[in-house]
Amino acid sequence: MDTRRPLRTLALALGTAGLLVSGCSDGGSSSGAASSAEAASASPSPVPAALKRYYSQDLSWRDCGVSGFQCTTMKAPLDYAEPDGGEIELAVSRKKATGPGKRIGSLLVNPGGPGGSAIDYLQAYAGIGYPAQVRARYDMVAIDPRGVARSEPVECLTGAQMDAYTQVDQTPDDKAEVTELGAAFKKFAAGCEKRSGEILPHVSTVETARDMDMLRALLRDERLNYVGASYGTFLGATYAELFPGRTGRLVLDGAMDPSLSSEEANRDQTAGFETAFRAFAEDCVQQADCPLGTTSASDAADRLKRLFARLDAKPVPTGESRELGESLATTGVIAAMYDESAWPQLRSALSAADSGDGAGLLALADSYYEREPDGKYANLMFANAAVNCVDLPPAFAGPEAVEKALPSFEKASPVFGRGFAWAALNCAHWPVPPTGTAHRIEAEGAAPIVVVGTTRDPATPYTWAESLADQLSSGTLLTYEGDGHTAYGRGSDCVDTAINAYLLEGTPPPADKKCT
């Protein structure tokens, strides 16, 4: 379990463990290449001389092999501080505006993570599931961030090694278990360095935001229009901070607070999952099939803690070689907190686990980790750690710091606090130093930005949306009073209408608008 940054995988976004993964074909005809002059003229301020060759490259679009979608690649400097050094190749996909109505421009989408494939999200959801009127007037576009999926992905562990890593006890009870957990984090970091050492220093959110600006220019858009979810909100806010004059219509849904340290963010997120679990528990105890009792949310929490303790002492079978212990069970519960539509599945999985069958919770955990039935993992968790650990200093330098912080984490969540605190130790042994620091993002001079917060969001607590909207000089807060992670396209007509109007007309919702 790694919750240092909010994860919004494609599987969770679609409410299913299945991924529609579509690679870009090398075949097909070229179309839509941007000329050097057009690309250069798209930038409202001068491009540094050392980057002009990147901002003036041609994009050769090809059929992806997925109906209606085109794919291409673009080059970017591996290190923006030394643009004449090595290069990195980044994958891009789009679906052109369908009409009717005048085309507004490109709409870049990112599902979060960090580590989620934006191209998978585009091709399986955004490019076909966003409102028809939005798709009619925007070219829907996605770029897999550097180190993610098709864009020179970070690799760390084999499938078998990852299986072992996900089963390590993350609520250590003695010094031996603390040592074992630390060794697992060290092995993970060493594997990343061995397999992806060259790219590890260059997967920061700042560098990805710079890549986005280059893509904006190559798409011949004067300003960047963007919908980012979860971690994608931090990416969008970072873009606005770097390029306020090139910021168009930005929707930041399930917002992060860039002013928080890693420890503060972890503790806040711990409280967010406790809030989400309490909402689940209050619903569960009213259901006839609730495995956590029918009395109160507090009793349900106690019963879940006792189940975790039993699984810690004696894992249960799952029908395959992996058993379900406390770590995988906790991850399975966490996965279901992202979307209330998964609550019935969680009730069934908890009932089965209580009776000695761990298959249901294991399936939920596998969806969180993006593990395929053949034992292979997507690079989600590898990229997630790589970006997190380079963006900010680690939450904790060692076990002693975790022990000191445990009371505050357990206060934030009696159910999850201990595990979340120890999970935040994962960057302590990272092989490259962090390049960023926590700070407020104001983006003075940016166009109006819509920040969306869900009141019982587990992964990005509502207070984060309030804070980001307050920090941004042009931010406006749109509140969804409900459950689950993010709000756009999740069933609220009020939210969808407000965001659609902003994307299509450029008019943000009224300040502090609330939706149910």
**Active site (catalytic) residues:** 230, 457, 485
Contact 166, 331 (CB under 8 A): yes
* Segment (H or E) for 484: none
Which residues does 255 contact at the CB level (< 8 Å), separation at least 6? 233, 237, 451, 452, 453, 460, 464, 465, 468, 469
Contact 476, 502 (CB under 8 A): no
Which alpha helices (DSSP H) does 22-149 contain, by range?
A: 36-41, 52-55, 118-121, 127-129, 132-137
Which residues does 340 contact at the CB level (< 8 Å), separation at least 6? 279, 280, 283, 483, 484
Distances 212 to 53, 55, 104, 195 between C-alpha atoms, Å: 16, 11, 18, 26
Contact 256, 446 (CB under 8 A): no
Determine the residue type at 196. S
Pairing of strands 87-95, 138-143: antiparallel
**CA angle, 485 as apex, 480 and 489 as ends, to 5°?**
65
Paired strand residues for 106: 139
